[in-house]
Structure 1
Amino acid sequence: MRMTASFVQLLHAFFENWLVQQRNVSAHTVWSYRDTWRLFLRFTSERQKRPIARLSLAQITATEICAFLQHTEVERHVSIGTRNCRLAAIKSFFRFVQAQEPSALAQCAEVLAIPSKRMQRRLICYLESDEVAGILAQPDRSTVEGQRDHALLSFLYNTGARIQEALDLCPQDIRFDAPCQARLVGKGKKERICPLWPETAALLLALLKRHPRAPDQRLFVNRYGTPLSASGVRFKMRQYVQAACQQLPSLSSKRITPHVWRHTTAVHLVASKVDVTVIRSWLGHSSLDTTNQYARANMQTMRDALQRFDAPSGIRPPPRWKRSASLLDWLDSL
Structure 2
Amino acid sequence: MQKPTDFSYTLTKFLTHYLAGLCNFSDNTIRSYRDTFKLLLTFCNEEIGISAESLTFNDVTPELIEKFLNWLKTKRGSSISTCNQRLAAIHAFFRYAQYEHPELAVRCQQILFLKFAKVAQKEVRYLSIDGIKILLDSPDIHTAKGRRELAILSLLYDSAARVQEIVDLKVGDVRLISPATVRLTGKGKKSRTVPLLKGNVQILSAYMNDQQHYLTTKDSYLFFNHSHQKMTRAGVGYILKKNVDVARQSHPDLIPKQVTPHCLRHSKAMHLLQGGVNLIYIRDFLGHVDVKTTQIYARADVTLKRKAIEAANVVETPQPLRSWTDDDDLMRWLVNLGKF
Using the alignment, how far apart are the partners of 2:81 and 2:147 within structure 1? 34
Asked if 1:261 corresponds to 2:264, the answer is: yes
AA of the residue aligned to 1:274: V
The total of aligned residue pairs comes to 313
Using the alignment, how far apart are the partners of 2:142 and 2:194 within structure 1? 28
Counterpart of 1:278? 281
AA of the residue aligned to 2:97: V
Using the alignment, how far apart are the partners of 1:145 and 1:119 within structure 2? 41
Shift of 1:276: 2.7
Larger Rg, first or second structure (1 or 2)? 2
Asked if 1:76 corresponds to 2:84, the answer is: no
Counterpart of 1:137? 137
Using the alignment, how far apart are the partners of 1:118 and 1:253 within structure 2? 28
Counterpart of 1:57? 57
Using the alignment, how far apart are the partners of 1:53 and 1:252 within structure 2? 52
Using the alignment, how far apart are the partners of 2:126 and 2:267 within structure 1? 5
Say whether the 8 Å CA contact 1:84–1:116 is kept in structure 2: yes
Shift of 1:141: 4.0
Query: Quick check: 276-285 or 163-172, which moved more?
Result: 276-285
Using the alignment, how far apart are the partners of 1:142 and 1:67 within structure 2? 57
Can you give the 5+ residue segments of structure 2 that lack an aligned partner in the other structure? 320-340
The 5 Å alignment of 1:115-126 reads 115-126=115-126
AA of the residue aligned to 1:98: Q
Counterpart of 1:197? 197
Counterpart of 2:299? 296
- 3-state SS of the aligned residue for 2:53? helix
Say whether the 8 Å CA contact 2:41–2:51 is kept in structure 1: no
Counterpart of 1:242? 245
Say whether the 8 Å CA contact 1:165–1:185 is kept in structure 2: yes
Say whether the 8 Å CA contact 1:127–1:264 is kept in structure 2: yes
Say whether the 8 Å CA contact 1:4–1:101 is kept in structure 2: no
The 5 Å alignment of 1:157-172 reads 157-172=157-172
Asked if 1:233 corresponds to 2:209, the answer is: no
**Structure 2 counterpart of 1:312, from 310, 316, 320:** 316
Counterpart of 1:18? 18
- 3-state SS of the aligned residue for 2:194? strand
Asked if 1:222 corresponds to 2:196, the answer is: no
Instruction: Supply the RMSD in Å over aligned alpha carbons.
Output: 2.7
Say whether the 8 Å CA contact 2:10–2:97 is kept in structure 1: yes
The 5 Å alignment of 1:176-195 reads 176-195=176-195
- 3-state SS of the aligned residue for 2:58? helix
Query: Quick check: 287-296 or 27-36, which moved more?
Result: 287-296
Counterpart of 2:44? 44
Say whether the 8 Å CA contact 1:45–1:55 is kept in structure 2: no
Shift of 1:154: 0.4
- 3-state SS of the aligned residue for 2:228? coil
Query: Quick check: 58-67 or 108-117, which moved more?
Result: 58-67
AA of the residue aligned to 2:63: T
Residues 22-73 of structure 1: per-residue CA shift (max 9 Å, x gap): 3333333212211222222223222234543333333333233222222333
Using the alignment, how far apart are the partners of 1:251 and 1:313 within structure 2? 35
Say whether the 8 Å CA contact 1:125–1:254 is kept in structure 2: no
Shift of 1:109: 2.7
Using the alignment, how far apart are the partners of 2:304 and 2:257 within structure 1? 21
Counterpart of 1:97? 97
Say whether the 8 Å CA contact 2:5–2:56 is kept in structure 1: no
TM-score, scaled relative to structure 1: 0.83
Query: Quick check: 92-101 or 18-27, which moved more?
Result: 18-27
Shift of 1:267: 0.8
TM-score, scaled relative to structure 2: 0.82
Say whether the 8 Å CA contact 2:247–2:255 is kept in structure 1: no
Asked if 1:173 corresponds to 2:173, the answer is: yes
Say whether the 8 Å CA contact 1:73–1:83 is kept in structure 2: yes
Can you give the 5+ residue segments of structure 1 that lack an aligned partner in the other structure? 316-334
AA of the residue aligned to 2:40: F
Residues 186-242 of structure 1: per-residue CA shift (max 9 Å, x gap): 233332221111221222222222223221122122222222222332243233323
Say whether the 8 Å CA contact 1:41–1:52 is kept in structure 2: yes
**C-alpha distance 166-107 of structure 1, shift in aligned 2 (>3 A):** same
- 3-state SS of the aligned residue for 1:249? coil
Using the alignment, how far apart are the partners of 2:159 and 2:171 within structure 1? 16
AA of the residue aligned to 1:192: R
Counterpart of 1:318? none
Using the alignment, how far apart are the partners of 2:113 and 2:279 within structure 1? 36
Counterpart of 1:320? none
Using the alignment, how far apart are the partners of 1:43 and 1:143 within structure 2? 51
